[in-house]
Structure 1
C-alpha cells in the first residue's frame, strides 16, 4: 500500500492548532492518520493504570464487536492479555501481539475461550507511557480474512511511532483521575510494579499459596512450565509439582476448569 499523502495531511489538519481534543476527536485523528499509512479493520485506544480496569478512550467497533472487544474484555480477560502486561511494565514502542505473547499463548485456554472470538489475524499496538503513571495503548487490528500486517507496513508504523507518542502525551492528559476518584496519583504510583489484583481477589479463599497463585496466573496467561521456571528461577519439575497441587486443591483436571474458576472468582472479587 502506498502512503496516501493527501489523506495524511487532512488527518494532521484535524488537530493542528488545537490545544485540547476530546477522546473521540483524538481517536478519529489517529484513525485517519493510520488509514493514510496502512490497511486495518479496527482501532481501539485503551488507557491502563496499574492493575485497575482499563478505560476505553476510542474504538471503531459496532455494537456487537464492542461487547467482545471492550465490555467483555474489561470484566476480567484483560488481566491475561499480553498488551495489559506490557502496559504495566511501561514499555514504550510499537509491537506485534506475537512479539509480546508467552510461548503457549496461542494454545492457552484464554486464547481458545476469549481471544478467538475477536476473529483477528493480528493486532499491533503503540505503547505510550505518560507522566501520570498511565500507559496509553493504541491498537490497530486486522481480521483473519485480511491477514497479518506486511513487514513493509509494520516498518512504516515503527517510523511514525515517535509522532504518535508525542500526540498522546500532548492530548491524552489528566487520565489518572478517571481511574479512581479516591486514590491519589501518589498512592497509585506506590503500588509495587509486580502487584496483581488477581493475587488479592481471584484466589482468595481457595487456599492457594502465593507461589501457587502466581504460577496458575502465568499458566492462564499462556506460559509453559519451562517458561514459568525461567521467569521465576525455579526448576521446570517444581513448576509441574505446583500445578498438580493446585489442580488437586481446586478439584479440577483441566485448564478449562481453571479458567472458569478464575473468571468466576474475579467477578465475585469485583463485586465486593
Structure 2
C-alpha cells in the first residue's frame, strides 16, 4: 500500500488552528492519519496513570469486540499487559508488542487465557508521555488473517510519531482531571488506586514482598532467568520462591495462579 497523500492532507488540514477536539474527533483523526499510511483492522486509544484503571478514549471495535478488548481488559488483565508496563516507565516512541513483551509472554497463561481471545497477529503502539505521570497509548491492530506489519510499514509509522504526539497533546491536555474524577466517583472521594486490590492482593494471601514481586513477573510472562536478572537474584532462588508460593496457595499451575490473581482483584 502506498501513502494516500490526499487523505493525509485532508486529515491534517482541519487540525491547523482548531481550538478543541473531543475524544471521538481526535480518535478519528488518528485513525484516518494512520490509515493513509498503512492498513489495519482496529485502532484503540488508552490513557494510563500508575496502576489506575486505564481510561478508554477511543476505539473502532464493534460492541462485542469492545467487551474483549476494553471491558474485560480494564477489569484486571491490563495489569499484566506489556503495553501497560511500558506506559508506566514511560517508554516513549512507537513499539511492536513483541519488542516489549517478556521472554515467555507468548507462552504465559495470560497470553493463552486472555490475549488469544483477541485473535490478533500483531499490535503496534504509539506511546506519548504527558505530564503528571500519564501516558497515552494509541494502538493499531491486525488480526491473524491480515498478518503482521512489514518492516517498511513499521518504519513509516515511526516517522509519523511527531504528528501523533502533537495530536495527543492538543486533544488531551488535562487527562489528570479525568483520572481524579474517576477515582472520586469510584472511591467516594478517597484518594486510592483505581484498582486498590492490585497492591494488596498478594499480601492478603500471606505472600512476602519478594514472593509477590516474583509472582507478578511470572504472570507477566518472565522466565525464571529473566526474573533473576531483573531482581538481582539467582535463577535457583527464583524457583525456590515460586515453589513456596505454589505450596502456600495450594496450587500446581500458572492457570490456577492467574485465576486466584484475577479473582482477588475483583474483591
In the alignment, the residues of structure 2 paired with residue 266 and residue 23 of structure 1 have an alpha-carbon distance, to the nearest angstrom, of 29
Aligned ranges for residues 45-64 of structure 1 at < 5 Å?
45-64=45-64
1:25 is matched with: 25
**How far did 1:57 drift?**
0.3
Are the aligned partners of 1:127 and 1:137 in contact in 2 as well (CA < 8 Å)?
yes
RMSD: 1.6
Aligned ranges for residues 149-188 of structure 1 at < 5 Å?
149-181=149-181
**How far did 1:15 drift?**
2.2
Aligned ranges for residues 110-259 of structure 1 at < 5 Å?
110-181=110-181, 200-259=199-258
In the alignment, the residues of structure 2 paired with residue 81 and residue 8 of structure 1 have an alpha-carbon distance, to the nearest angstrom, of 31
TM-score normalised by length of structure 1: 0.92
- Runs of 4+ aligned residues of structure 1 deviating over 4 Å after TM superposition are 196-199
- Structure 1 unaligned spans of 5+: 185-190
In the alignment, the residues of structure 1 paired with residue 182 and residue 109 of structure 2 have an alpha-carbon distance, to the nearest angstrom, of 36
In the alignment, the residues of structure 2 paired with residue 5 and residue 202 of structure 1 have an alpha-carbon distance, to the nearest angstrom, of 51
Aligned residues: 258
In the alignment, the residues of structure 2 paired with residue 93 and residue 109 of structure 1 have an alpha-carbon distance, to the nearest angstrom, of 28
TM-score normalised by length of structure 2: 0.93
**How far did 1:76 drift?**
0.2
Are the aligned partners of 2:47 and 2:57 in contact in 1 as well (CA < 8 Å)?
yes
Are the aligned partners of 1:119 and 1:143 in contact in 2 as well (CA < 8 Å)?
yes
- CA displacement 1:80-113 (0-9 Å, x = unmatched): 0000000000111000000000000000000000
Distance 1:197 1:80, change over 3 A: farther
- Structure 2 unaligned spans of 5+: 185-191
- CA displacement 1:154-205 (0-9 Å, x = unmatched): 0001111111112211221110111123979xxxxxx9xxxx9566222132
Distance 1:182 1:99, change over 3 A: closer
In the alignment, the residues of structure 1 paired with residue 224 and residue 262 of structure 2 have an alpha-carbon distance, to the nearest angstrom, of 22
